[in-house]
Chains A and B, each alone.
Chain A
């Protein structure tokens, strides 16, 4: 497809389990972003990749969260020892450039529910 693809669209897990969320950006987009959207809130920045490297991970809430982008395309957000407070929609976006005036293209999100 032409857009940003995220899998799974829904994930239900139990407290303490490990979760991986995948993002396939638009082909040719070098910048990739992860955001988290809690119920009733706007998206909040988690991490930004330029190519393969995490240029800014200042939004990751704690060391249970980690993200990789080994080949500069697909990215995986990894959450260890999930907690109920991690329940949210995790959004991935990509863009051609990383500048602030560039348009971000968002996927539909992965809805994570931690029981």
Chain B
């Protein structure tokens, strides 16, 4: 079955530091890949997505590239801000027509001034 493994947190960084949160997956076929973010007191919201190999999703300075050869979708940001403090979830769906998302356990990021 499908599964997502992401690096365990919590991760604490200083403002303007470089961020990487690793995510690898196991899936049959051609999954779509997502990063969702949950800010304190808010619901999960889509941060970025990629639907096929070598696609790069990007939003709010965050990027992730769909790497089929390494089954990975690592999240990166060049310079984090305090406002990026949140829990980040990597997720996949089995592709077009599929509606179930399989999530990783989440990585809590704290950015300190």
Contact = CB atoms under 8 A, between A and B. Distances in A.
Contact of A99 (B97, B101, B103): B97
Contacts of B95: 100-101
Given A3-B43, A91-B44, A104 B101 contact: yes
A100 B43 contact: no
B98 A100 contact: yes
Interface in B1-49: 4, 31-32, 36, 41-46, 49
A100 B49 contact: no
12 contacts: A40-B105, A42-B91, A42-B105, A43-B44, A43-B89, A56-B99, A99-B96, A100-B32, A104-B46, A105-B45, A106-B43, A107-B43
A7 interface: no
Counting chain B residues whose Cβ lies within 8 A of the other chain, the interface size class is 20 to 34
Interface of A: 3-4, 31, 33, 35, 40-45, 48, 55-56, 59, 91, 93, 98-101, 103-109
Contacts of B100: 45, 48, 56, 59
A59 B104 CA distance: 16
Give 3 nearest A-B pairs by CB, closest first: A42-B103, A100-B93, A100-B98
A99 B105 contact: no
Chain A at the B interface: SS class: loop
Nearest to A41: B105
B99 A33 contact: yes
B19 to A, nearest CB: 19
Given A41-B105, A42-B104, A100-B94, A109 B43 contact: yes
A94 to B, nearest CB: 11
Given A42-B106, A43-B101, A45-B100, A103 B4 contact: no
Nearest to B98: A100
Nearest to A55: B99
Contacts of B58: none
Nearest to B30: A100
B4 A42 contact: yes
